[in-house]
Structure 1
Amino acid sequence: MLPTNPKPHNQSPQDRDLVCLSDDAICFSDEDPDVTSLQDWKIMIIDDEPDVHRATQLALKNVTFENRKLTFLSAYSAKEGKELLAIAHTDTALVLLDIVMETNDAGLRIVQHIREELKNQQIRIILRTGHPGEAPEESVILNYDINDYKLKIELTRQKLLTTAIAALRSYRDINTIEQQRLKLAQTLEDLQQVQFQLEEYTHRLEAKVAQRTAALENANRELHRLAIVDDLTLVANRRRFDEYWQQQWQFLAHQQQPISLILIDVDYFKHYNDYYGHQAGDECLWKVAQAISSVLNRPTDLIARYGGEEFAVILPYTSLNGATKVAEAIAAEIYSLNIPHHQSKVSDRVTLSLGIACIVPQLELSPKTAIAFADQALYQAKSQGRNRFCVYLGNG
C-alpha cells in the first residue's frame, strides 16, 4: 500500500520539481533558498489509528521540499488535535485529518475550528477517511473549507507524496502572497506616513514662507519709508520731493491742470540754532514741519524738507489763489506755535518766509522752471524783510 522505495523516473531539464537523490531520500525543489535560514515543514497528523501515523511518517520521512525537511506532529483524537493546534497551528503547513474519530464528524468539526475559531486560512487541510459513506465526498467538499479529500485506501506512497507536495506548494504560495500583502500594506502605511509628514512639512513651510514674506514686505515698506522720509522732521525728504514733483508735473501736463509750489524758509534759523543749541534747533524744525503738515488737508498735497531749514509744499490742482490761502494758513499756524526766537530781527517768535509759484505744466518745459519761480518769490520775501510771503508773477 505504501511502498518505501519508489522507482526513479526520467525528467526534462525544465522539470525541477522532483529530484531523486537515492532510493530512500527524495528532494523536491522549486528554488534554491538559503538552507540555514529555513525551518522544517510542519505536518500535523490527526488520526485515531496509530498505524496511519506510522505509515504516513514512513512514506514521507526522507522527503525534502525546497531544502527543508518534514517534521511530523501527531494527535490521536480530535481533542488532542485541538490542543495541538492551539500551540502549533500558526506555523503548521499541512494537516492530515481523519474524519471519523470520537464522533462521525469529529474531523469536520476540527476543520471548522481551524477556519472559524483559529481563523487560520493558510494551513492546508487534507481530509482522509476509511468510512466514505459516513461523510459523503461531495457534501464535504462543498460545505467545508478543505484542500483535498482522500480515501485512506487510495493513499499509496506515490499518491501521498504527490498530495503532500502539492499542499506544501499551495501553503508556500499562500504565505508568499500574504507576506507580499503585508509588505505592501506596510509600504502603503509608510507612504501614507511620509505623505502626512510631507503635508505637515508643506504646511509648516508655507506658514514660514508666508511669515517671512510678510516680514519681508514689512521690511521693504519700512525701507521705502526710510528712503523717502526725513529722519528729523518725519515729513518727506528731498528725494521724495523730487520724485513726486516729477510725477505730478508729467501727470498734470497731460491734464493741463495747474500745480502750485510753496518754498518756505525759517527766518534767521542759523541765529536760532547758535543761540538755543542744535537740539533745540532740531525740535524747532520738527514742530514747524508738523504744523505745516497739519494745514494740508488733501492726500495729494505734500510737504517735504527741502534742505536745512527750508521746506517745500506741493499743491496739485491748486490755483494761485488757493496756494496763497494755504501760505497764509501756514504762516498763521507757525505764528500760533509761539516758539520764542530772541535772535530774530523781525519777531519775538519763530516766523517764516514763503515764495509761491503756480503754473500749468508743459511737457516741453522743464519741471525745474516752477521751482526756480518759487525760489525767486522766496528770495523776494526775504529781501522785503522776511515774515511774509511773495508770489511769482512772471515780472522778475
Structure 2
Amino acid sequence: MSLSTPQSQLDEDRDRIVDSNDDEVLFCDEDEETAPQTTDILQTETAGATETEVWKVIIVDDEPSVHRATQLALKNFRFEDKPLSFYSAYSAEEAKQLISIDHPDTTFILLDVVMETNDAGLRVVRYIREELKNQHVRIILRTGHPGEAPEESVIVNYDINDYKLKVELTRQRMVTTAIAALRSYRDIITIEKQKQELTQALEHLQQTQNQLEEYAYMLEMKVAERTVALEKANQELYLLANLDGLTGVANRRCFDEYWQKQWQLLAEQQQPLSLILIDIDYFKNYNDRYGHQAGDECLQIVARTISNVLKRPTDLVARYGGEEFAIALPNTPLAGAQQIVQAIASEIGKLNLEHTHSPISNHITLSLGISCTIPNPNTSWKSAIAIADKALYQAKEDGRNRYCVFGEPSMPLVP
C-alpha cells in the first residue's frame, strides 16, 4: 500500500510538510507487544534546533514499539517550516513530570489510555486540564483496548481533542492528526497572544485615560484658579469703574446707570422714585482750615454715615461731585425721602465734627435737595436730577443746614 499524501485531503499547511519515507506504519495490538525493557524517559530532538524552533510532542505509552513507530511515521514531518521534537514517557507519572515541569509548552500529546492501570491515561487528562489548568496542549488519546475506554464515553467525559485506535493509525492518518493538532494549537496560541495584546492595549488605553483624566482634572483646577483670578480682576475692575476711590461709595458713573435703570423700571410699574442731593456746607473753608487730608477723612466719614442710614439693598448712595452726594430711593414716596433726610442729619449731628470756619455752625452741617416723581417713559431721567439740584440750590440760598423740596419752602434740619 502506498503512503503518498493525497493533495486533495490536505490544505496549504500540509504543503509545507517535507517527507521522504512513504512506507506504511501500522500499530499492532498491544497484546502482541513485549513489555518495555526500561522506564526511562526517552527524548528525541531535532539536531541543532532550539526549543522555540520546534513543535514539542510528548508520546505517552508503555509500549516502546509505539514510540518508535510514531517517531518513524513523523520523522521528516515539518509544519510551518518547523520540525517536531519528541519526548517519551512510559507511565502516567512520567507524563505528568514532562508536561508540568520539563515541557509545559508542549503542542500535543499522543496519550495511551491503558498503561499501569486501565485508566492511567484518563487520569493524566484530568491532571493536565484540572490541576495544571493547561488548556493549550492538544490531547490525542490512543488505545489498543477500545473496550476499556469507549470512544463516545471518553469524548463526552474528558477534555480531549481526538480519539484514535492504534490499529487504525497509518502514517497518513498520523500526519493528518499531527497537522490538525498543530493547527489547533497554533490558533489557540495566536488567539491567546492576541488576547494578551488586547489586554495590554486596554491597559494602555486605561492608563492613557487615567492620564487624560488627571490632565483634565489639573486643567480644570487651573481653569478654576484662573476663573477665580479673573473674577477677582473683574471685581477689581468693577470697583474701579463703579466705586469712588476715596469714600468707597458708588461714583457718578455708577449712579447715572443705576438711576436710568430705576427710571425705566418704575416707569413701567408706575411707582415713585425719590432723589436726595446732599452738599457739605462750606467744605472749601473746611479744607482751607484743616487741610485736604482732613477734608478727605471728613468725606469718608460722611459717606459712611449716609450708607449706614440706608437699610434697603435697592437704596444707593454715590459721591456725585467734590463734596456732593446723591441718594437714589426706588419705591419711596416724598414722606419716606424726608424721613431719610432727617435721619441723616441726626446721625451727622451726633458725630460732632468740628468746623470752626463755618459761618453757620461750629460743626459740619449739610444742605439737601429732594425730588420725588413717578417716572414717565416719555420724560428724560435727567429731569428729576435737575429738580433735586434746584431744590438743593434753594436750601443753600435759604441759609444752608436745611433741606428743600422743589416748589416748597425749605425746612431747617433738626439735629
Alignment counterpart, residue 121 of structure 1, candidates 135, 141, 156: 135
Q: Which residue of 1 aligns with 2:34?
A: none
- The reply to whether residue 265 of structure 1 matches residue 262 of structure 2 is no
Q: Which residue of 2 aligns with 1:39?
A: 53
Closer, same or farther in 2 for the Cα pair 1:70/1:20, shift >3 Å?
closer
Partner deviation per Cα, 1:151-190 (whole Å, 9 max, x = no partner)? 2232222221121121111211222223233333443444
Partner deviation per Cα, 1:334-360 (whole Å, 9 max, x = no partner)? 222111112222221111122223333
Alignment counterpart, residue 241 of structure 2, candidates 227, 233, 254: 227
The 5-angstrom pairing of residues 241-260 of structure 1 reads: 241-260=255-274
Distance 1:141 1:101 in 2: 19
Counterpart of 1:297, as a letter, is K
Closer, same or farther in 2 for the Cα pair 1:135/1:379, shift >3 Å?
closer
Distance 1:297 1:93 in 2: 92
Partner deviation per Cα, 1:176-235 (whole Å, 9 max, x = no partner)? 223233333443444444445555555555555556545544543443344222121111
Q: Which residue of 2 aligns with 1:31?
A: none
Q: Which residue of 1 aligns with 2:390?
A: 376
Alignment counterpart, residue 284 of structure 1, candidates 285, 295, 298: 298
Partner deviation per Cα, 1:306-351 (whole Å, 9 max, x = no partner)? 0111111223333444433332332232222111112222221111
Q: Which residue of 1 aligns with 2:175?
A: 161
CA contact (8 A) 1:266 1:351 kept: yes
- Stretch of structure 1 that moved more, 184-193 or 354-363: 184-193
Partner deviation per Cα, 1:81-137 (whole Å, 9 max, x = no partner)? 222222234210111122222222222221121111111122111222233333333
Distance 1:156 1:275 in 2: 130
Counterpart of 1:267, as a letter, is D
- Stretch of structure 1 that moved more, 199-208 or 70-79: 199-208
Closer, same or farther in 2 for the Cα pair 1:159/1:282, shift >3 Å?
same
- The reply to whether residue 23 of structure 1 matches residue 20 of structure 2 is yes
Q: Which residue of 2 aligns with 1:7?
A: 4
Partner deviation per Cα, 1:256-294 (whole Å, 9 max, x = no partner)? 443332221112212222322222111100111111222
- The reply to whether residue 323 of structure 1 matches residue 337 of structure 2 is yes
Distance 1:303 1:277 in 2: 25
The residue matched to 2:275 in structure 1 has which SS? strand
Deviation for aligned residue 1:76:
2.2
Q: Which residue of 2 aligns with 1:64?
A: 78
Q: Which residue of 2 aligns with 1:302?
A: 316
Provide the alpha-carbon RMSD of the alignment.
3.1
Counterpart of 1:44, as a letter, is I
* TM-score, normalising length: structure 2: 0.81
The residue matched to 2:53 in structure 1 has which SS? coil
Structure 1, unaligned runs of 5 or more: 26-34
CA contact (8 A) 1:89 1:123 kept: no
- The reply to whether residue 337 of structure 1 matches residue 334 of structure 2 is no
Deviation for aligned residue 1:393:
0.2
- The reply to whether residue 139 of structure 1 matches residue 118 of structure 2 is no
Counterpart of 2:307, as a letter, is S
Closer, same or farther in 2 for the Cα pair 1:90/1:361, shift >3 Å?
same
Alignment counterpart, residue 79 of structure 1, candidates 93, 111, 114: 93
The residue matched to 1:100 in structure 2 has which SS? coil
Distance 2:65 2:273 in 1: 122
CA contact (8 A) 1:261 1:314 kept: yes
- Stretch of structure 1 that moved more, 231-240 or 209-218: 209-218
Structure 2, unaligned runs of 5 or more: 23-48, 410-415
Aligned length: 383
Q: Which residue of 2 aligns with 1:360?
A: 374
Closer, same or farther in 2 for the Cα pair 1:258/1:101, shift >3 Å?
closer
The residue matched to 1:288 in structure 2 has which SS? helix
